[in-house]
Amino acid sequence: MIFELGEYRARLSRCRKVMAEKGIEVLIESDPCNMNYLTGYDSWSFQYAQAVIVTLEDEDPLWIGRGVDLAGVRLTTFLPESKVAAWPDHLVDNAVNHPMEFFAEQLSARGLGRKAIGIDRDCYFFTPRSRDVLQAGLPNARFADAGRLVSWLRLVKSDAEIKIMSEAARLTERIMAAFFEVVRPGLRECDAIAEIYKAQVAGTPEFGGGYCCVAPLMPVGEGTSTPHMTWSDRKFVKGEAAYLETAGVRHRYHVPMVRALHLGTPPQRLVDTSKAVIEGIERALEVARPGNTCEQVEAAWRKAISRYSIEKESRIGYSIGLGYPPDWGEHTASLRPRDRTVLQENMTLHMVCGIWNQDWGGVSLSEPFRITAGGAVLFAKVPRDLHVKT
């Protein structure tokens, strides 16, 4: 286990408190980040129905998943055998029967079939069919939308979590150093990515890195007009821009970053836009301190870039921490208008300022940081300027 048992117990205690406030007696949590947060469970097993189930009465939650993953529960969690159950394998990819039939049987057998059951309707790995089958199997339960209850519990990090993220940031620095170092005209994009992966997982002599929950995103040339392209095996050419978005990862905690480079003398509009973005980031970071709100941070950015006649519709950041596919965002607080989440010490965010969808491409730069009493403190030290390789 990555944290002391007491830290997991405290998380579960906070979870039960919010459940009670919301009138939820049983919480079914299938988000792999949230399952990890509550129990330590860590396995690439979210492609089939699994959940951690928290009740108001019991100290230990229940894990239900696929049989082949049972040993993963033993190896990564503190759960006793009595709180672990596995559905039979013929339910994999079965058009007629579904693992949630087993979940319903287990909940009934454990006296939870008539409770108020909360589910997160936005969880990627709890499908509409999962809900249909579970509800059909528990006709006497009352179902409620739990919202992103556990995700919100993750917003403020413990000191132990901050320490792990600080280690992840050492990997982030190495990744960006590799990006700046290796990209050159004539190199294939895939060969650059090989070096980036190496920096990401080989890590430092003291510790290695885990897998990033998003493949390295590296828009190049005309691809810079959109943020979510990966790479090809074409060669870099002089006169084009590239940016890299990926994360250093330690014990599933992600510290993501975006940096941009240009091969050869950059066009003036790219230089100007980069300058505006950097100024916007600086102004926004100054406002990112305890007591201010997420929307105040974004407003400082917006004001700064408006002087350069740049507009940006999309948000400029979000809370970060644990990550499993498909993304490292916590899906809670966002840096954007109308988000009045009040910043507190030990919140951790990724401010990502991309200007995309321009006819000439775009530019993206970001900073992962944490909130301290004294203001925003960057996780990683990587020069923020457009990196020009002439």
72-101 positions binding a copy of itself, by CB under 8 A: 72, 75, 88-90, 92-93, 95
Q: Which of 10, 202, 237, 342 binds a copy of itself (CB under 8 A)?
A: 202
Interface positions, 353-382, toward a copy of itself (CB under 8 A): 354, 356-357
- Does 47 interact with a copy of itself (rule: CB under 8 A)? yes
Nearest to 254 by CA among 303, 209, 305: 209
Q: Which of 6, 80, 128, 374 binds a copy of itself (CB under 8 A)?
A: 128
Of 3-11, 291-299, 330-338, 341-349: span binding a copy of itself (CB under 8 A): 330-338
Identify which of residues 180 and 211 has a Cβ nearer to a copy of itself in the complex. Answer: 211
Which tokens is 31 given? Answer: 């988000």
Task: List, in sequence order, the alpha helices (H) in 245-293.
Answer: 268-287
**Residue 27: CA atoms inside 13 Å, Cβ hemisphere, count?**
35
Query: Rounded to an integer, what distance in angstroms lies between the CA atom of residue 49 and that of residue 96?
Result: 15
Of 99-107, 279-287, 295-303, 349-357: span binding a copy of itself (CB under 8 A): 349-357
Identify which of residues 21 and 233 has a Cβ nearer to a copy of itself in the complex. Answer: 233
Give the contacts of 257 (CB within 8 A, at least 6 positions apart): 172, 175, 176, 245, 246, 247, 350, 366, 367, 368, 380, 382
Of 19-27, 288-296, 328-336, 369-377: span binding a copy of itself (CB under 8 A): 328-336
Q: Which of 233, 309, 374, 390 binds a copy of itself (CB under 8 A)?
A: 233
CB 127 within 8 A of CB 315: no
Least Å distance, CB 365 to a copy of itself, is: 15
Of 172-180, 268-276, 351-359, 372-380: span binding a copy of itself (CB under 8 A): 351-359
- Positive or negative, the Cα torsion across 55, 57, 61, 65? negative
Identify which of residues 275 and 315 has a Cβ nearer to a copy of itself in the complex. Answer: 315
Of 177-185, 230-238, 296-304, 367-375: span binding a copy of itself (CB under 8 A): 230-238
Q: Which of 11, 336, 384, 387 binds a copy of itself (CB under 8 A)?
A: 336
Interface positions, 275-304, toward a copy of itself (CB under 8 A): none
Residue with token string 């039939």 = 101
Give the number of other Cβ atoms within 10 Å of residue 13's Cβ. 10
Q: Which of 25, 60, 173, 189 binds a copy of itself (CB under 8 A)?
A: 189
Give whole-number Cα distances, 359 to 150, 219, 230, 260, 354, in Å.
41, 15, 20, 18, 14
Which tokens is 352 given? Answer: 């990502």
